[in-house]
Structure 1
Amino acid sequence: MLTWFRNRYLDVLGSIYIYNEHRGYTAIDRVLEAVRARYPDDQQLIAAVEQHRADERKHYVMFKRWFELRGTRPLAVDRMFGHIDRFIEIMFRRTIDGLDTREIVEKDHLFERLCRVISLTEQRGYRQVEILLANGFVTSDKRLVKIFEIIREDEPSHWAPYDGWLQANAKRDPKWWERAVDGLVHSELLFLKLPILFLNPFAKRRTDWSDDGEVEPDRYARKLRVGAA
């Protein structure tokens, strides 16, 4: 029974993470479009966001490999389980796909809001990884521990460019209510949506991968194979 519980927990956890990592790097493509249009000469900012995007893609590939080694595919979760999806919907009253990149580029307060949302999301992700690395079920899986250790190492550089932009442009830090929204989104996922998925015997698995059809230079493939050995 304990083995089943552990495997189910890790299955649900991995399914939610791989969705969020894929959603992360595909959403950052929209951010990059906005940054390049708004600050075409700020190569440092562009490079930092590009690195953020590359790391999110790397994390997705690591989870994909983890599932492949388990001989299965993730559970078929959607934006209901996406932290950034829900946060964006609350803060902008539209989905990520519904965001108007041109409008965000042209309106300073919208770009400022987007930076705060991304920063809070990444900082939340870092704190959650710290918790997971102390979780007995997670630590029982050496491959998963390696993945979360890499994520923990990468995360601080992910909110840095957005905080840097806010500071460089004399913009305010997140207010208490923005942090409260972040906490609400996290609590919904952790205490409501994750248990529902865990207990749902009818939850189906994906029949494909989220990145099917994408052309990506997966420079981390060899490193991942070594780490998973």
Structure 2
Amino acid sequence: MLAWFRRRYLDLLGSIYIYNEHRGYTSIDRVLEAVKARAPDDHALIAAIEKHRADERKHYVMFKRWFELQGKMPLQVDRTCGHIDRFVEIMFRRTIDELDTQAVIDDDAQFEKLCRVISLTERRGYKQVDVLLRHPLVRHDKVLMKIFRVIEKDEPSHWAPYDGWLKANGKRDPRWWERAIDGFIHSELLFLKLPVLFLNPGVRRRTEWADAREPAEARASAIPSLA
């Protein structure tokens, strides 16, 4: 029974993470588009965001490899399990896919809001990795521990470019209610969605990888050794 519980928990954890990592790097493509249009000469900011994008892609590939080593596909989870998805939906009242990139490019207030959302999301991710590295069920899986240690090392650089832009342009820090929304989204996933998925035997597995339809050259990513 304990072995089943552990497998089920880690299966769901990995499925939620691989969804969020894929959503992360594909969403950052939209952010890069906005930054390059707004500040084409800010090479430092563009390079920092490009690194963020590359790291998110690397993390996705590591989780993909973790599933491949087990000979199975991730469970089918959707945007309701995506932290950035829920944050954007609440703050912008539309999904990431519906977000008007041109409006973000044209409006300082919209871009400022997006920077705060990304920064809070990345900081939340860092805190959660710290928790998971001490979690007894996660510590049982050596490969997963290696993945989370890589994420722990990469994560602090991910909120830096957005915080840097806010500070450089005299924009405010997140307010208490924005932090409260971040906390609500995390609690909603942890205490409602994760238990529901855990107890639902009808959750199916994906039939193809999330990046299956991306160009081959985009999928050719080097990853740290998981051996």
Q: For the residues of structure 1 that align with 2:138 and 2:196, how far apart are their CA atoms?
A: 20
What letter corresponds to residue 218 of structure 1 in structure 2?
A
Judging changes above 3 Å, is the alpha-carbon distance between structure 1 residues 203 and 219 closer, same or farther for their aligned structure 2 residues? closer
Deviations 1:194-213 (A, max 9, x none): 11111100100001000002
Structure-2 residue corresponding to 1:74: 74
Q: Is the 8 A contact 1:22 1:56 kept in 2?
A: yes
Q: What is the CA distance between 1:217 and its match in structure 2?
A: 5.4
Show the 5 A alignment for 1:119-130. Answer: 119-130=119-130
Q: For the residues of structure 2 that align with 1:55 and 1:218, how far apart are their CA atoms?
A: 14
Q: For the residues of structure 1 that align with 2:117 and 2:51, how far apart are their CA atoms?
A: 18
- Where in structure 1 do 4 or more consecutive aligned residues deviate above 3 Å? none
Q: Is the 8 A contact 2:211 2:219 kept in 1?
A: no
Show the 5 A alignment for 1:95-114. Answer: 95-114=95-114
Show the 5 A alignment for 1:36-115. Answer: 36-115=36-115
Flag structure 1 segments of 5+ consecutive residues without an equivalent: none
Structure-1 residue corresponding to 2:174: 174
Q: Is the 8 A contact 1:58 1:218 kept in 2?
A: no
Q: For the residues of structure 2 that align with 1:187 and 1:204, how far apart are their CA atoms?
A: 24
Deviations 1:72-121 (A, max 9, x none): 00000110110000000000000000111110011000000000000000
Q: For the residues of structure 1 that align with 2:144 and 2:121, how far apart are their CA atoms?
A: 21
Flag structure 2 segments of 5+ consecutive residues without an equivalent: none
| TM, length-normalised to structure 2 | 0.98
Show the 5 A alignment for 1:1-229. Answer: 1-215=1-215, 216=218, 218-221=220-223, 223=224, 227-229=225-227
Q: For the residues of structure 1 that align with 2:34 and 2:150, how far apart are their CA atoms?
A: 28
Deviations 1:136-162 (A, max 9, x none): 110110000000000000000000000
Q: For the residues of structure 2 that align with 1:70 and 1:181, how far apart are their CA atoms?
A: 36
Aligned length: 225
Q: For the residues of structure 2 that align with 1:217 and 1:40, how far apart are their CA atoms?
A: 26
Q: For the residues of structure 2 that align with 1:106 and 1:213, how far apart are their CA atoms?
A: 31
